[in-house]
Structure 1
Amino acid sequence: MPDTRMPLAGQHVHFNGLGGKGIAPAASLAHQAGMLVTGDDLAPNHRTRAFEAEGVAVTIGTNTIPDSTTMHVASAALQPGHDAGPQPMARLEFVQHLLAAHHKQLIAVSGSLGKSTAAALFHHILQPLVPSAYIGADVPGLLCGGKFAEGEWAIVEACEYKAAYLALAPEIVIALNLVQNHEDDLGPGTVGFERSLTTFLTQSPTPPRLAVLPDRVAALLAPHLATTSTHLQVETVGEGADWSVHVTDADAHSTTFRLAQHGTHAGTWTVPAPGPHLVTAASCGLIAALHLGVSPADSAEGLAGFKLPRRRMSTMYRDDRLVLIDDNARQPDQAAALIQALRQAHPDRHLVIAVAPWGRKNQRDLPAWALGLHEADTVWVLPVGEAAVPGGEVADADKRLAELIRLEGTPAYTVQPSGLLPLPEDRSADRVLVATAGYDASLAAFSTLHDQVITAFGTESTSTA
């Protein structure tokens, strides 16, 4: 007799691009839900190896669909042309299908930036509810960002690119921020995303019942929401909003804050990682948790176990002279948030941020990048290299960005990963903090740079990478 608790158990699902950070957590959910999972990717990585360690059959070097496949999930990067097998599903389409089959209710985490880290935060805040999770990052304690659990709720990172999140039917939506991103899809500025997010909130067959929005997001969406007929309950966070946040203590490792609803104290919590952006994200998740009946004490206990995902302020090396950090900050606002967090964690060190903001076929907003980086003590700009494409990035954008940063008053240099690593003449190499920031596509360049930084500024201590 079939197990009604695992309605998809035994069904064969194949994942093209298994090693991708968007596909891998979907495959992880399927594997933990008892499905027969196979996958492929053109090159191995730590995710394909993790699946192999779980007994998943992984084909490397080609995209092939086994004959026994009943469901096929394809990476957006996969070129069309596979005629055999079932019609491919997008990753969030499959996630919705799997979670709905198990009667899970969804909390969608949306926004331009920081979704993965916020979703990992919410997964801990809601631990009393034993939630499932789909998160596009390498989260400690989760298999490739996926967790299938017995609770009725699931936290899903909701990607806005090409309106992917419209495949979801969440009960609750948390929209963290709205900044310019995905210009090739949503256009310049934020208006395109404002319209897309409004559609997500109001026009799905089963619209969400609750949206938790920072005040800036609420202000941008208000004109759009005013033109719709919706029963959506909106809770806002920020100064003069429904919920206010007051930081009571901050040190190198954590930030403690209070939440109040219309002046009434709701509780005090501590985020066990530095950075004001994490307080904003945690506040949104805590408001959702309170709506779901999770007590402040229980959510505080869950939050205490939070650890940052991979490539989020990850310490690669540390000794008395040098701290070396790696982060995936790839937009100006992310870089500014990273600098704030590193100032909190290492207030007495000379902060050097090495950026490679080149990755997609969009043209960078270089003045915005200069503003985002100018609070560092020194900036190293890596070459554009192969990211220079017709209609996208220009080959000398690295030199132009360095000049704009210098105009903001911050020393900035273009550097090669194997070249000289300059500091201002009045600055010694003692007590330096170097942070690399950019797309995963820059990891090879960053790895070379890390070795160079350790040789130039480190002692004989051992790397913590």
Structure 2
Amino acid sequence: MNLKTINNVYFIGIGGIGMSALARYFKFIGKNVAGYDRVSTEMTTELENAGMSVTFKDDEEEIPEVFRDTVGTLVVYTPAVPKSSALFQYFTGKGFEVCKRAQVLGFITSGSFCYAVAGTHGKTTTSAILAHVLKDTGVPVTAFLGGISENLNSNFLLEGDKITVTEADEFDRSFLHLSPDIACITSIDADHLDIYGNKEEMDRTFREFAGKVKPGGKLIVRYGLPISGITYGVESGADYSVENLEIRDGGYVFDIRTPEKLVTRVKFGKPGKHNLLNALAAFTMAVEGGVEPGDAAEALFGFKGVKRRFSYQLKSENIVYVDDYAHHPAEIDAVYQAVREMYPGKKVMAVFQPHLFSRTRDFMEEFGRSLSGFDEVVLLDIYPAREEPIEGITSARLLEEIDNDNKQLVSKKELLSLLKKTDADVVLTLGAGDIGREVEKIREVLSEKAKE
């Protein structure tokens, strides 16, 4: 792959969060960029407004003429796009250079000092915090994020090409294309079993990723994981640990003990122990990369968050509305811990849209246990994404696993009218599907209710 000879870059699945960051990168460095996605979204509209041509029809006739040059065109696709796609078939059949998103990301970051954040949970927030800390402390960095940083209002940052921050995505073993200088592993819970088959194979692949760290590089791991490296955690045995933790103003104040010193009265505004750990992971990576501990700690206070990661949509005296991307039982548990810690004694309603038939099948009992703790549970139908239905795997079946008398299954069309009648003090929307598109309408309904 030689970027100097590439004039045009076409993305099959351009609206995806990881794909769109790459699209922004290529547009920024002066390439012609176009692509296809299934439906128009806020993201595809932003890409179009930035000068990229986007089509929503999987048809070779939709390809702009300039992108039909096999010599000067690179085609990037996401594994979520089926190989039967007409566009994928056209480009592969005509001899274009066709690469997975992960391959291209690996190539772009290979010539830089690369920070890579891996883990089944926390990698988006951790990489966004890290990008913020580096930027805030004057490090010229390019960042490819898997979510919209509220500090940047983007999933992409380009302030220099010598240092990069990226997520290391375990889906489809994508992170094995990376060769980071500093890598972090936040968690290794069973997930994507449609790809890995079992937890043992997933563990093995994470160890393989750990082996991708460049000679002389550093591996940072959550304390307690079965992989050797520099550790971080709330536990005193970790190399970087949290001490004297206090809850204050909806966030945390704490000290960080590093191998060299104690950094006192660190402030971080995002609630939940999982976010505290994400902040500590980013702090550890930044310090191990050469940032002064005091400067890194000061930068943490300015981090605003990532959209759809415990994202406050409404804070009033009588109703709080939080939206979160949580789509795995461990992530739901983390949201539960955060909301109970911040709003003790309040009635909490969780609106959950399961993501993928296979994940719902693989963690049916675990989802049931995680959701049972909320005071009220509302289930939406399973969001299929790239999958076909699996017989017997439905939201109605999941509802049976929830040990809660106050539970129901509704359609998205029924959701708003239900929320108009709720007496919950805190409303959560959870899931990685298209529930995010309902957030604005839900906020409007709850805002009106808050006035009553």
- For the superposition of Structure 1 and Structure 2, which TM-score range results when normalised by the shorter chain? 0.7 to 0.9
Q: 2 CA distance for matches of 1:324 and 1:349? A: 13
Q: Residue 135 of structure 1: SS of its match in structure 2?
A: strand
Deviations 1:307-329 (A, max 9, x none): 22221223334443322222111
The one-letter code matched in structure 2 to 1:221 is: I
Q: 1 CA distance for matches of 2:263 and 2:443? A: 44
Relative to structure 1, the CA distance from residue 264 to residue 164 in structure 2 (aligned partners, 3 Å threshold; closer, same or farther) is: same
Equivalent residue number for residue 135 of structure 1: 145
Q: How does 1:371-390 map to 2 (within 5 A)?
A: 371-384=369-382, 389-390=389-390
1:70 paired residue among 68, 73, 89: 73
Q: 2 CA distance for matches of 1:395 and 1:292? A: 45
Equivalent residue number for residue 42 of structure 2: 46
Relative to structure 1, the CA distance from residue 416 to residue 53 in structure 2 (aligned partners, 3 Å threshold; closer, same or farther) is: closer
The one-letter code matched in structure 1 to 2:370 is: G
Q: 2 CA distance for matches of 1:330 and 1:211? A: 27
2:280 paired residue among 283, 289, 298: 283
Runs (4+) of structure 1 exceeding 6 A deviation are 385-388, 445-452
Relative to structure 1, the CA distance from residue 377 to residue 286 in structure 2 (aligned partners, 3 Å threshold; closer, same or farther) is: same
Gaps of 5+ in 2: 84-88
Gaps of 5+ in 1: 1-5, 223-232, 461-465
Equivalent residue number for residue 226 of structure 1: none
Q: How does 1:54-93 map to 2 (within 5 A)?
A: 54-62=50-58, 64=60, 65=63, 66-68=67-69, 69-80=72-83, 81-82=89-90, 83-84=93-94, 86-93=96-103
Deviations 1:50-79 (A, max 9, x none): 112112222332354522342111121223
Does 1:434 pair with 2:444?
Answer: no
Cα shift at 1:380: 2.3
Equivalent residue number for residue 358 of structure 2: 361
Equivalent residue number for residue 150 of structure 1: 160
Cα shift at 1:372: 2.2
The one-letter code matched in structure 2 to 1:237 is: G
How many residue pairs get aligned? The number is: 429
Mapped contact 2:348–2:374 kept (Cα < 8 A) = yes
Relative to structure 2, which stretch is displaced further, 7-16 or 154-163? 7-16
Q: 2 CA distance for matches of 1:147 and 1:444? A: 24
Q: 1 CA distance for matches of 2:251 and 2:213? A: 41
Q: Residue 15 of structure 1: SS of its match in structure 2?
A: strand
Cα shift at 1:181: 0.7
2:304 paired residue among 304, 307, 313: 307
Relative to structure 1, the CA distance from residue 153 to residue 267 in structure 2 (aligned partners, 3 Å threshold; closer, same or farther) is: farther
Relative to structure 1, the CA distance from residue 448 to residue 141 in structure 2 (aligned partners, 3 Å threshold; closer, same or farther) is: closer
Equivalent residue number for residue 28 of structure 1: 24
Q: 2 CA distance for matches of 1:344 and 1:55? A: 45
Relative to structure 1, the CA distance from residue 50 to residue 313 in structure 2 (aligned partners, 3 Å threshold; closer, same or farther) is: same
Equivalent residue number for residue 129 of structure 2: 121
Q: How does 1:235-274 map to 2 (within 5 A)?
A: 235-239=231-235, 240-261=237-258, 264-274=261-271
Q: 2 CA distance for matches of 1:205 and 1:111? A: 15
Equivalent residue number for residue 229 of structure 1: none
The one-letter code matched in structure 1 to 2:81 is: L
Q: 2 CA distance for matches of 1:63 and 1:95? A: 26
Q: 2 CA distance for matches of 1:91 and 1:377? A: 41
Equivalent residue number for residue 221 of structure 1: 227
Q: Residue 356 of structure 2: SS of its match in structure 1?
A: coil
Relative to structure 1, the CA distance from residue 138 to residue 236 in structure 2 (aligned partners, 3 Å threshold; closer, same or farther) is: closer
Does 1:183 pair with 2:193?
Answer: yes
Q: Residue 94 of structure 2: SS of its match in structure 1?
A: coil
The structure where helix makes up a greater share of residues is: 2
Mapped contact 2:6–2:73 kept (Cα < 8 A) = no
The one-letter code matched in structure 1 to 2:280 is: S
Cα shift at 1:264: 4.4
Mapped contact 1:322–1:432 kept (Cα < 8 A) = yes
Relative to structure 1, the CA distance from residue 392 to residue 145 in structure 2 (aligned partners, 3 Å threshold; closer, same or farther) is: farther
Relative to structure 2, which stretch is displaced further, 272-281 or 81-90? 81-90
Q: 1 CA distance for matches of 2:153 and 2:31? A: 15
Deviations 1:66-95 (A, max 9, x none): 223421111212233222352211112112
Q: 1 CA distance for matches of 2:303 and 2:117? A: 17
Q: 1 CA distance for matches of 2:392 and 2:209? A: 29
